[in-house]
Chain A
Amino acid sequence: KAGVTQTPRYLIKTRGQQVTLSCSPISGHRSVSWYQQTPGQGLQFLFEYFSETQRNKGNFPGRFSGRQFSNSRSEMNVSTLELGDSALYLCASSGTPNTGELFFGEGSRLTVL
Chain B
Amino acid sequence: AQSVSQHNHHVILSEAASLELGCNYSYGGTVNLFWYVQYPGQHLQLLLKYFSGDPLVKGIKGFEAEFIKSKFSFNLRKPSVQWSDTAEYFCAVILYSGAGSYQLTFGKGTKLSVIP
Residues of A within 8 A of B (CB): 3-4, 33, 35, 41-45, 48, 50, 55-56, 58, 90, 92, 97-107
Contacts and interface: CB of A to CB of B under 8 A. Distances in A.
Interface stretch (B17-25, B69-77, B78-86, B93-101): B93-101
A56 B102 contact: yes
A100 B43 contact: no
A102 to B, nearest CB: 7
Contacts, number: 68
A15 to B, nearest CB: 27
Interface of B: 32, 34, 36, 42-46, 49, 51, 90, 92, 94, 96-97, 99-109
A106 B43 contact: yes
Contacts of B94: 98-100
A3 B46 CA distance: 14
Contacts of B42: 106
Contact of A55 (B34, B99, B105): B99
A97 B96 CA distance: 11
